[in-house]
Amino acid sequence: WSIIPEESGLGNGFYHTGTGVHLLAVLPDTKLVLVHRVDTDKDFDISWNEIRQLMYMIGEARILD
């Protein structure tokens, strides 16, 4: 597990990566759990920068209480 610092813009949290580009991120401050999976049995073309951008987009799109 790795720490997501508050300065990241996503709030405090932590994440873990697995095979290929699988990712699980837990962001308690924003009440979000993000899971990113790719069918690694097939060819895929996605970068960590694209995954990071997707995480920020999801964080910005969440509905606030």
Does residue 20 have a pLDDT over 70? no
At 63 the pLDDT is 79
* Residue whose structure tokens are 């300065």: 7
Nearest to 36 by CA among 21, 15, 14, 16: 21
**Cα separation, 19 vs 6, whole angstroms:** 26
36-57: pLDDT as tens digits: 998 888 888 888 888 889 888 9
For residue 53, give the amino acid letter. Answer: Q
At 26 the pLDDT is 94
At 24 the pLDDT is 93
Mean pLDDT of 1-7: 82
Helix/strand/coil for 51: helix
